A and B are shown apart, each in its own frame.
Chain A
């Protein structure tokens, strides 16, 4: 009988009984004592291996009001936790600041810094990498705000003398309209004015690489004492020996002319002294002039030039100098 009840119960637990079996089971179990029924159920339980989603452990824990045991904190762990508690907010706040700050920095770094030297002025600047640049009159130099971080590059229009700080890892690049000058740590002079037909690069010390821009790129390496001249019209790049002192005479305030025709001389005077000069009549261009002046007055220079060229000059009320060829 006990086995029969066990059978019926097992079938019942597995939802596998007929209506008849259920009424039989109902009647049979009603006649069993709790202990007898318990024994039969215990037998079935021993063989019962199904697992159905267990009820919530967290709920049980809550009802029991037991908590996961906490291990005693070591002093170091305690300090670490306190430090973390203090540092985390600081870290988060600083991250927010850095993030907003970075945006500003980026905007700043994308800007170019431009140094503009007016006619009649000269300037001396030191770049972020320590490179010294002497800028002649009417020269524009611009370099990115992040100059020296990833690369050292600058754009030049005019004349500059550069004492480049040595840094083999970061080549120093001077971009002019026609020439690209690559430097590793050297002293050199660059003349790249719009109004001049040639771009000149004179190397005083170290070494520079020159690359011409445009389709037929030319490449050359200068040695100290050499001057590279690029003819804008022919596109030819030539090298000559030169007196470096002469090339850099402008640094001492000297006015330097190198095989200059009269128009070039006057243009340079305009820039150097910041004056307006008008040339009237005559053929004057053929005669080339080489020399330097230490004069501080444009009139003294003009007086000297009168020896070479045959002209007179007058000064009008508007400070404009009128040159008259005979």
Chain B
């Protein structure tokens, strides 16, 4: 599709052309960014920021170049930063493990996104004992290793492993129930 006309319109402050470009590319960019950060709120923010840049830099856009390439050029820093942040987040790792276990389909629309997962995790954590919760948060959320926790809390490593596995089983069960509830709402 040729959006040259609309890019030129955009350069002349055309609201209409801006809207055309938005609806042509925002969904595409959203899908790509969501694939990387797995979070609706993050993906949405990045898309919004990107199109704000499109508007504010509209006069410098080259109408003869690919608009799709241009979009990534201006969003690249945000995308890379957020992707790295997510990859470094232990909870995100939990989330990915959890989704792999629960969802086999490739359709990301059906997945609980990372935002939803963290919300449910917070709720599920109320089912844990204070000690289970403490160990879970130290290890799975802050990424502190089991030997280090053992030193900090002055308990046996094996106790920590036992507590962690109990906590994980409980949480999976809890989030799973929410997950089931979530799906029954949408697919019944």
- Does A51 lie within 8 Å of B28, measured CB to CB? yes
- CB neighbours of A51 from chain B (8 A): 27-28, 30-31
- The docked-state distance in angstroms from the alpha carbon of A15 to that of B110 is 11
Provide the B36-71 mask, 1 if CB < 8 A to any CB of A, else 0.
Answer: 100000011001100110010000000000001100
Instruction: Identify which of residues 28-56 in chain A touch chain B, using a CB-to-CB cut-off of 8 Å.
Output: 29-30, 34, 37-38, 41-42, 44-46, 48-55
CB of B162 within 8 Å of the partner chain: no
Q: Which of A52, A66, A69 contacts B31 (CB 8 A)?
A: A52
- Distance in Å from the Cβ of B67 to the closest Cβ of chain A? 12
- CB neighbours of B155 from chain A (8 A): none
- CB neighbours of B87 from chain A (8 A): 25-26, 29-30
CB of B143 within 8 Å of the partner chain: no
Q: Which of B27, B76, B96 contacts A54 (CB 8 A)?
A: B27
- Does B106 lie within 8 Å of A48, measured CB to CB? no
CB of A16 within 8 Å of the partner chain: yes
- Does B13 lie within 8 Å of A69, measured CB to CB? yes
- Does A55 lie within 8 Å of B48, measured CB to CB? yes
CB of A18 within 8 Å of the partner chain: yes
- CB neighbours of B83 from chain A (8 A): 29, 37, 41
- Given A12-B35, A30-B87, A57-B26 contact (CB < 8 Å): yes
- Given A19-B97, A22-B93, A66-B15, A55-B77 contact (CB < 8 Å): no
Q: Which of A15, A22, A37, A53 contacts B106 (CB 8 A)?
A: A15
CB of B123 within 8 Å of the partner chain: no
CB of A60 within 8 Å of the partner chain: yes
- Distance in Å from the Cβ of B93 to the closest Cβ of chain A? 7
CB of A64 within 8 Å of the partner chain: yes
Q: Which of B16, B31, B52 contacts A68 (CB 8 A)?
A: B16
Q: Which of B27, B32, B84 contacts A13 (CB 8 A)?
A: B32
- CB neighbours of A12 from chain B (8 A): 35-36
- Distance in Å from the Cβ of B172 to the closest Cβ of chain A? 15
Interface of B: prevailing SS: helix
CB of A104 within 8 Å of the partner chain: no
- The docked-state distance in angstroms from the alpha carbon of A228 to that of B77 is 109
Give the bracket for the number of chain B residues in contact with chain A: 35 or more
- CB neighbours of A22 from chain B (8 A): 93, 96
- Does A15 lie within 8 Å of B103, measured CB to CB? yes
- CB neighbours of A52 from chain B (8 A): 27, 30-31, 34, 108-109
- The docked-state distance in angstroms from the alpha carbon of A14 to that of B76 is 19
CB of A63 within 8 Å of the partner chain: yes
CB of B19 within 8 Å of the partner chain: yes
- Does B72 lie within 8 Å of A55, measured CB to CB? no
CB of B23 within 8 Å of the partner chain: yes
- CB neighbours of A68 from chain B (8 A): 15-16
CB of B100 within 8 Å of the partner chain: yes
- CB neighbours of B68 from chain A (8 A): 45-46
CB of A17 within 8 Å of the partner chain: yes
- Does A67 lie within 8 Å of B28, measured CB to CB? no
CB of A59 within 8 Å of the partner chain: yes
Q: Which of B22, B48, B99, B108 contacts A63 (CB 8 A)?
A: B48
- CB neighbours of B47 from chain A (8 A): 54-55
- CB neighbours of A66 from chain B (8 A): 15, 18, 55
Binding site for B on A (CB under 8 A): 12-19, 22, 25-26, 29-30, 34, 37-38, 41-42, 44-46, 48-55, 57, 59-60, 63-64, 66-69
Top 6 A-B pairs ranked by shortest CB distance?
A13-B35, A54-B26, A51-B27, A52-B31, A54-B27, A50-B31
List 4 extra interface pairs beyond A34-B81, A49-B28, CB under 8 A. A13-B35, A41-B36, A42-B72, A45-B32
